[in-house]
Chain A
């Protein structure tokens, strides 16, 4: 202390005491603020925060039900669920993201595309400690490598998910359809509760139609989680109800055969068991690998598929609408006989063309010079156009439409396929409505040989063939043989309300069938080559559909145009003649004549079915080792 200043100790002490008093008051005030704050949080708002804390802690997690499996009629698995492993990263737990990613790239060989997507997701808004997916569908080698290196990589997890797999990919793609990730629009449509844990939904085919049955019911578990979302314990659990397994009428061997027969061409084959309406084979070629669509197809691969001139994504069997051509003649014959517009004995002179009332435009027969005197049997066997021109003109559109409707034309009659097209069965009203024109007699002439306005899908042709084989007894085409699980087959399969076609004289069915038999096994039948040497009797009808539609603007490849402008080859058949087991429709796009291209395929398919696959016992052949575990009843 410098000299000259006097220190008043008592005054200093008093000053200090006053200041301490002030400080004490201020401190008590501040403590009061703290206590008031705690009172506000802990007493006044206790319930709010208790709720918040509970919501934090307890999470209701949906448990996705395992999707029902799909079997063919012999219990061969067509659609199964496989565990797929993906790598996710929890950024909050990664100490050094760049290094971790570099390490992961070495271990897993991650593509640039995946990495870019990952960085995009990383930048998006998300809850702390939620995992960000990095790479999907690891192979076994990658899983093993991850298992080894996992402990060096905090925050990196391998997650498993059940994903649909189609072992017969291309072969069954159009018959089964496929599942894919739920998109925005479907998210709005689907029940948010039931689909809470589900990432996939049926997009087409059986997968789409039986979505409800295949999906099952969601389960729930109340779990205690920590802030990282990791489940610590399960407090309460309600198990999911697995989706129903489905057994289809489809026989994968026949399906494979149909697919192989068409390979290298574009076309479709549909085979139906007439007694049940069960679809034995539904092949549209070319097909595509449905597995690509399940986890999400890359843009390039999708572009390649959708822009291919062969249209592999197009389901020709269900959606391809073709003029039925001469394959319509047996149905016309049935209509003509039953409506008394012709008789078995009535003959028509065919000079090679037909004129309405003997004058005007000449409608040409396919055979130059004509068939001469033709009765109905010969008209079918040799596919005489003139006879049917005449018959069509006599029947008129109303009669033809009425009968063809009973054969299932002009509407979707299949019970359980999704996305089928109705074709086109023209009527007077249709033409008035769409074309604003009256129905001319010439339209009836064209319609009588399956040209003009009429369009039918391969499925419809096969269905109509089955009606012929069944003598008018209607069995709607269907995929599902039975549902194995909670729901009964009757419950999931829609009702069949289509009426039978009852003729005044039932014998006419046999007459037409015999005429179709002559097509393949008669001495002048148009498809007699295809019927040669068959150890069973069968019935068929050839057809050729003219290609109108392809535009002439593809000038750069003349050969290509010529090939693509060729007629479509059609053939329908059922076998054996007595007690038919299979009805088939074959269409080969731009295949030329039905007798030369389509009929041999049908013959081979029927051979395979009757001689190889159903030799001996007819119902349940060899393959029975892959019975599903949960199966209870044997149908």
Chain B
């Protein structure tokens, strides 16, 4: 870490120019405001999607509170802390994933939760959504970029090891998202286009292999249903048809807040969790969803700005990968609810009710803010 010390010495505290109170407590004001708009707006949609249950809203507010605290704490830590701890966090995560397979608890034939004495129940796979990109970024940032072929291979091992463990749970959806988070790091690190092309070629070969050897029947069913939901309108296709109906009947302006018949009459399944964007689309129309997507895009744009302006490659890679992961959540969720992607259990970031997703995401934004607000100003 010698050269970093050198940089710190060169810059010195005098060059550090905080622009106001929020920056001083390591929060990025623009990102914070955008996130708060999203969170508060999401509460209104949740109130409607949750059948006007104030209890659900209250519980979500509590969760948001926890998430904000987590974000705040993560923002306080210097990026070097994440870098120093990266191997340990990653190793801990792997151990937890192995523990889940051995002693985990869960429902519907999948073991995803770990209940350790003295700790709240948690999903190690959720933790890995952060730990894998941080670990990969740590690995790459130790060397010059773009990485050599051999280092890309090692990075891929870092990514695939937890993926395999998560697939075993089984939780294919989360495994893909964790894998993607790691791969985004590889992509931003500057993996050569040739290699990238070869990788996609391998993925093209792997897809049928997955179909025949890895995917469970219910997962295949989801894909098949996506291709032709009307083939089973009362079974697996029910969700898709009802959510498309909700979205489509919203039209340009929507039916108005709390006026959505699809969700309020229970035709729309999971209306306050995974399918909440259909509630928004039904009640606030095309304009409402477009605004939501714009809001997400603004958040992503701000995060990319943070990434580009990060001081070292570790910060850049972590911020870039986390941003892309966030975008993938948005895309996959809206894509599946509007019927262009199979139904996988991905909630709409920051809006869907429940789960640990909102805490993980806010932790990620905390890391992002940390990267941005711990910069030392260097001229040149």
Contacts and interface: CB of A to CB of B under 8 A. Distances in A.
Interface of A: 1-2, 5-9, 12-13, 15-17, 19-20, 23-24, 27, 30-31, 33-35, 37-39, 41-43, 45-46, 48-50, 52-53, 56-57, 125-128, 224-228, 232
B266 A16 contact: no
Contacts of B234: 125-128
B267 A34 contact: no
Nearest to A48: B248
Nearest to B184: A23
Given A31-B293, A49-B245, A57 B265 contact: yes
8 contacts: A9-B312, A9-B313, A12-B313, A23-B188, A34-B338, A38-B247, A39-B286, A46-B249
Contacts of A46: 248-249, 251-252
Contact of A227 (B144, B187, B265): B265
Interface string B4-37: 0000000000000000000000000000000000
B289 interface: yes
A20 B307 contact: yes
Contacts of B340: 33, 37
| Candidate in B245, B324, B338 with the most chain A CB atoms within 10 angstroms | B245
Contacts of A6: 144
A226 B252 CA distance: 24
A50 B255 CA distance: 10
A16 B311 CA distance: 12
A228 B338 contact: no
Contacts of B300: 27
A56 B248 contact: no
Contacts, number: 143
Contact of A128 (B238, B249, B331): B238
Interchain residue pairs A-B with the least CB separation, the first 10: A49-B248, A53-B249, A227-B266, A226-B265, A42-B286, A41-B248, A46-B251, A49-B249, A226-B266, A227-B267
Q: Interface SS of chain B: helix, strand, loop or mixed?
A: helix
A41 B244 contact: yes
How big is the B interface, by class?
35 or more
Interface in B240-264: 242, 244-252, 261-262
Contacts of A43: 251-252, 286
Contacts of A227: 242, 265-267
Contacts of A8: 144
Contacts of A39: 286
Nearest to B312: A9
B110 interface: no
A178 to B, nearest CB: 37
Contacts of B145: 12, 15-16
A12 B144 contact: yes
Nearest to B1: A1
A56 B262 contact: yes
B316 interface: yes
Interface in B329-343: 331, 334-335, 338-340
B335 to A, nearest CB: 7
A42 B281 contact: yes
A16 B316 contact: yes
A224 B146 CA distance: 62
Contact of B143 (A1, A38, A127): A1
A20 B304 contact: yes
Given A16-B316, A23-B187, A226-B265, A52 B293 contact: no
A353 to B, nearest CB: 81
A16 B190 contact: yes
Contacts of B320: 16, 19-20, 23
Given A15-B145, A42-B289, 8 more contacts: A1-B143, A20-B320, A34-B335, A37-B335, A38-B289, A42-B285, A43-B286, A56-B261
Interface string B129-166: 00000000000001111100000000000000000000
Contacts of B339: 37, 41
